[in-house]
A and B are shown apart, each in its own frame.
Chain A
Amino acid sequence: MAVLTINGKRHEAAVDPETPLLWVLRDTLGMTGTKYGCGIAQCGACTVHVDGVPVRSCSLPVSAVGDAKITTIEGLAEGGRLHKIQQAWLEGDVPQCGYCQSGMIMAAAALLAEKPNPTDADIDAAMTNICRCGTYQQVRAAIHAAAKA
């Protein structure tokens, strides 16, 4: 039985300890905002925060989470108010198909928490998520906009 703290709430999941966190979130707990893209930590669609650090949940066995606090896209807004990254995404009309955007937003939120005024080079280094629609230009602009907000 895995006991997890997700978005400030305690959850129990009766799963094989080797099950990746991604599938516990999606299938066991019904939190489908975190996406499956590749399963090998390449694309970043499954990015969540583990104690504030962006982690690719497809490659993290649930047994390795321990007591760490997990934040998913569902928990990024606080008190009904969107995170400033989400707000910038809305204002910048960033997503196209949107499938990679949960992961993009989680990666960008972690970047801003660490570097409130990221340079283009910081963005290049932190934002390694894959977007097949090609929203990179809008993603970059929205991160800069959120930093100024």
Chain B
Amino acid sequence: MDAIASISRRSFLVGSVAGAFSLGFDIPFARSQGTSAVREINAWVVVHPDDRVVIRIARSEMGQGTLTGLAQLVAEELECDWSRVSTEFPTPGQNVARGRVWRNFSTGGSRGIRESHEYVRQGGAAARAMLVSAAAKRWNVAEAECSTSNGVVSHAASGRRLRYGELAAEAATLEPPKDIKLKDVKDWKIAGKGVKRLDTAPKVDGTLVYGIDLRLPGMLTATIRDCPVQGGKLKGFDAAKVDRMPGVRKVVAVDGTAVAVIADSYWQARKALEALPVEWDMGPGAGTSSATIDAMLTEGLTAENVFIGTRVGDAKAAIAGAAKVVEAVYSYPYQNHATMEPMNATAIWTADRCEVWCPTQNGESALAAAAEAAELPVAKCDVHKAFLGGGFGRRGRSDYVRQAVLIARQMPGTPVKLVWSREEDMMHCAFHPVTKCKLTGALDASGKLVGLHMRISGQSILASLAPQGLQNGMDPVVFQGLNAGGTEGQFGYDVPNLLVDHAMRNTHVLAGFWRGVNLNHNAIYVECFMDELARAAGEDPLAFRRRYLKPKHRAVLDAAAERIGYGKPVPGRFHGVAQIMGFGSYVAAVAEVSVKEGQLKIHRIVAATDPGTVVNPAQIERQVAGSFVYGLSAALYGECTVKDGAIEQTNFDTYPVLRMDEMPHVETVLVPSGGFWGGVGEPTIGVAAPAVLNAIFAATGKRIRSLPVAKHDLRSA
């Protein structure tokens, strides 16, 4: 038996003993492959003889609650007993082997539920139909005479009942139904309810094994330092200076850009890496700084050659003929995801097989990266997904997976866990892109908004990470929340002459998907500028917006304004509003703040969301509150700056984030209008910053157009 099979089996056995779910490294289908008598009913559902139901979840769980929401949807159609439900993650390798029966594993863009609700519900409904069919056969009655509830099939006419656990083995042998009718949302009993998460228990006693916690027999630990400047190279290192340090096993080059120390433990690897003399070729990015980037972006604000995202009417003509023109330039800095769990992956490689255990938002891309680095066919590799200690877009990339495999290849047959330091994590990610925006608004003589031109200048995420997604060179994702129409993120205002264009200006610093993505800065640009236009028109910011807002946009803003008591804040406090559409949902917020002697206090936020359909209101509430922590951390403090090509912030002392004492009270208002499925993890992050910035203006008369807030003096002049 080879080393990998042995380790996989052992870790699975450990998982079985401790509870595979809590270990997080379940290797499902060991059972259906013959180690247990329990056979799946279909890819989504396993029912044990004792009525325990295991629901398979293809998407990753990183705190956003998608695991629980997806399980609710399957359980709803299955009509099982919710108290007996647990979940497991199929591996990407199994997905490939089974013709992608679980479809997409990628978990980002608030897509987990909204893009898979239909087929996961069909999975639950099909399994239910097969259980009914099995019961009907056994009783020799028509299926239509049988009903299901809470994990039991009943035959009302004869009073007979069979538990799902008694029927599962037989159901598993039946043909799946051809026609599946899903329940109407109004009939939901499990979905749509604020049930508790399924993954909480092992998170309160320390037993959940995250990727960084994995321990395999004979495992070594590596830590890595990549060239401080992205695009640079490793010139050399003097391993002899450290290879006799305690615990050190090997010092290895990785991919020509990085060096790693492999040791018995993390601390030993880290001490040796700190002591290791390394020479870098910093590469072409070394001459870049925040100032040079800013100059490049500023040039883009008036450039001729641009990509046009949205064009309605003739904005330039409207501006030329306006009674009043309002102009402002905003900017948004680089941000780091700073997941609490630093990047890590564990790999074991032999000439014949490669297995990886890692936290990933994209299991299939991690598998592809592992296979490529291993130089093995995909069929000889697999990735075991762990629960993530935060994702926020960072773990959609597989750079750390590739590194782990490349390191493990240099210790064939030995499992090696690669753990990044926080410092490495802060300096090497694909950062929230840096952009600037020049807005020009046209008011007619009556103060009516007749034209708007938004010129965005800055980085393209797709150009950095997925250039194949560019459309004739244009990055359509740049225009999140600014599209002329569509179901993903339309511009909220009816303006007769609207132009949104993009001067793409990329740097050597990779831009990536960061919770909220381009909605973060786009919402600031639009919503702060709407405030500026309202003031210029001499109108209240809410009343001004309401005149131009499309109905669903206006409805969420009204819901937030009504709940907070807009216009009647506690004396000494001030309101700021914002709305946006993103990730398929309509959102709005009103912030209530005070500024005393330059000290900002955010007292209260009311956030309204119309996600169309609500799967778990309690978890949405948590996502919304959390999105404000993330969005306000960036708005108040977050800024990654560049010096000599390298990111300067290396830990939470220089990249501060919001803590408990600054947490405003966040109230979530859900106004689902039905008929569509929008995301909830990200949209409200878009309105966090502009609502607060507009409230700061109301409180101080100071218009903040560059972030973070912390670098501005809020004291009255």
Contacts and interface: CB of A to CB of B under 8 A. Distances in A.
Given A27-B267, A99-B210, A139-B660, A37 B340 contact: yes
Contacts of B221: 27
Contact of A97 (B215, B267, B388, B657): B388
A54 B221 CA distance: 28
B298 interface: no
B206 interface: yes
Given A97-B389, A133-B63, A89 B629 contact: no
B387 A97 contact: yes
A137 B197 contact: no
B625 A137 contact: yes
Interface string A88-100: 0110011111111
A59 to B, nearest CB: 12
B196 A99 contact: no
B69 to A, nearest CB: 13
Contacts of A33: 205-207
A94 to B, nearest CB: 8
B200 A35 contact: no
Contact of A98 (B196, B266, B387): B387
Contact of B663 (A90, A97, A137): A137
A116 to B, nearest CB: 19
Given A27-B265, A99-B210, A130-B652, A136 B204 contact: no
Contacts of A105: 204
A123 B265 CA distance: 36
Interface centre among A28, A42, A77 (most CB of B within 10 A): A42
Nearest to A102: B206
B246 A132 contact: no
B650 to A, nearest CB: 10
A101 B203 contact: yes
Contacts, number: 178
Contact of A132 (B206, B209, B392, B653): B392
Interface in B208-225: 208-210, 212-213, 215, 221
Interface in A115-145: 123-125, 127-140
Contacts of B212: 32, 35-36
Chain A at the B interface: mostly helix, strand, loop or mixed? loop
Contacts of B199: 98
Contacts of A43: 340, 652
A38 interface: yes
B530 interface: no
Contact of B266 (A27, A34, A128): A27
B488 interface: no
Contacts of A114: none
Contacts of B653: 40, 42
A83 B221 CA distance: 33
A42 B653 CA distance: 7
B421 interface: yes
Contacts of A45: 340
Given A33-B206, A98-B208, A105-B204, A134 B628 contact: yes
B196 A124 contact: no
B340 A130 contact: yes
Given A96-B65, A99-B210, A42 B622 contact: no
B170 interface: no
A72 B661 contact: no
18 contacts: A16-B268, A27-B267, A36-B342, A37-B342, A39-B423, A74-B206, A93-B622, A96-B63, A97-B340, A97-B390, A98-B202, A99-B341, A124-B660, A128-B660, A132-B339, A133-B626, A133-B629, A136-B658
Interface of A: 15-16, 19-20, 23, 26-28, 30-40, 42-43, 45, 72-74, 76-77, 82, 86, 89-90, 93-102, 105, 123-125, 127-140
Given A42-B653, A72-B206, A98-B202, 9 more contacts: A23-B265, A31-B206, A36-B266, A82-B205, A86-B205, A96-B622, A124-B660, A132-B630, A136-B625
